[in-house]
Amino acid sequence: MIQLEDYTFGIDGIKPYILKNKKIAETLETQRKLLQLWKVQRPIIHNNMTFSTKDLEIYQIDRLRNIVDTAFSTNPFYNQLYSKVGYSRGDIITLDDYKALPIITKDDLLDNENWLGGNLSPTLENAYRYTTSGSSGKVFTVYRDAVMNNMMWLNQLRFYEQILQRPLKQKDWIYEIYLAAPTFSSIADHYPFFTVSNECPPEYVLAHLKLLKPSILSGFPSYLLNLASLIKDPAEFDFIEAIVTNSEASSQQERDRISRAFGGALVCDEYSSIELSFISMQCPHGNYHLVEDNVRVDIINENQLGQGEMIATNLHNTFLPFIRYNHGDKLALKQHGLECRCGNKFRMLKQFEGRADQILISQKNGEISSFMIMSLYDRFLLAHDSNLLEFQIVQKEVNLIELNLVPKANSKGINWSCIDLFTSHLKELFGNDENLSIKINEMAEILNPSYKRRLIINELLH
């Protein structure tokens, strides 16, 4: 197996930041199995994206019937839940049958230990373990088996081929700057992954990238923007063909900035979660497609703009399934039947609303989506002449928004006309509510309590 230390090319500073898989030990045998699976499944899963609406529905119903029946028979939590509504095995014949099942939330699962009981193999100790925080701040642990791990990889490799717009080659390096290493460091010496921690100084990463020459770079948009700001000559990085952003919300303008810094590499955003794995991915034409052979997504409680709560099921997780799961995120889907030039027929998002807590709340106009706020800060705060290094929009109270601003070093100071335009448009989103005050704080740096960059914080929701 590939030893990452052999690929530091004398950049010793990077060594302490190399991340390795600490979950289930990877073996050449498990990697070889995945490689075999990829070779068989590759044409099939690429073809899935060209399914007609009817064929996709047939595919999803088959998967849903399998998941629901398995959960009903093997998982005490689902058995009780579905028994109460009179479910019997084999009842899922149409999507409406599926949509009649009760919706569950993270808190339902956190409060119900039964959810984790039922599997004889693998035991939870031998499954891949992931943690996230619940809405109440409690730690929520999710387990995946080898089937889910392999599905995650198949989706990931297919996504890479979509954005590279060519088949992966055995020697294509993938460079990740992240919190943890992937479950495999390569697929039996194909497509090796070099993973460094988000804490690695960007200078080391830039020097190392030039020597390793990966085809794909992947990371948090805030870290990639930081790298981008240090690049003097974009042509030095033209070996990077595609860049993936994930984990934090980023605007199209920020992704365009990353693209320019890396010599015009295609930058695509990916939206996934530990509960559902891949949910949506941006294609080379900039559209967010749902990954509809991985998740069934429905939108409920839509507002006039079509935005509503996402209810989803991972179609392959029979081990610890999430069925009709309210993820807490908001989505709006594009009109049915619209086709994208990339050829992917999976439904597209009208806009990616981001995490449900990245919204502002107006007494007059209700919830203001993160998409609306991101469009505004794209235009005014990220504008080249705003002279801002960083900013953060914090709703402290119903009628109080604080705008934290950090000016760029060596600039002439903040360009207040940009800030004025931003605040006047923000007031418009609040229906020009006279009770609303926007307080501006100029500061030397913004301290983030979490590892993720948060440009929009709503303290009313915490």
Query: How would you class 336 by CB atoms within 10 Å of its CB: exposed for 0-12, middle for 13-18, buried for 19 or more?
Result: exposed
Is 227 or 349 the residue whose CB approaches Zn ion more closely?
Answer: 349
Is 256 or 442 the residue whose CB approaches Zn ion more closely?
Answer: 256
The single residue among 19, 68, 216, 283 that binds Zn ion, judged by CB under 5 A, is: 283
Residues 329-358 that bind Zn ion (CB under 5 A): 340, 342, 344
Least distance (Å) from Zn ion to the CB of residue 89? Answer: 38
Question: Which stretch in 63-71, 202-210, 275-283, 436-444 sits in contact with Zn ion by CB under 5 A?
Answer: 275-283
The single residue among 287, 369, 387, 404 that binds Zn ion, judged by CB under 5 A, is: 287
Is 165 or 411 the residue whose CB approaches Zn ion more closely?
Answer: 165
**Alpha carbon of 103 to those of 40, 106, 121, 236, 298: distances in Å?**
35, 11, 27, 50, 11
Residue 60: alpha-carbon gap to chain centroid: 22
Cβ contact 360:368 at 8 Å = yes
Least distance (Å) from Zn ion to the CB of residue 57? Answer: 20
Is 280 or 318 the residue whose CB approaches Zn ion more closely?
Answer: 280
Least distance (Å) from Zn ion to the CB of residue 289? Answer: 6
Is 122 or 284 the residue whose CB approaches Zn ion more closely?
Answer: 284
Least distance (Å) from Zn ion to the CB of residue 184? Answer: 28
Distance CA 313, CA 103 (A): 10
Is 53 or 94 the residue whose CB approaches Zn ion more closely?
Answer: 53
Is 247 or 344 the residue whose CB approaches Zn ion more closely?
Answer: 344
Contact between 280 and Zn ion per CB under 5 A: no
Binding mask 398-437 for Zn ion (x = CB under 5 A): ----------------------------------------
Distance CA 166, CA 184 (A): 22
Least distance (Å) from Zn ion to the CB of residue 338? Answer: 10
Residue ranges binding Zn ion (CB under 5 A): 283, 285, 287, 340, 342, 344
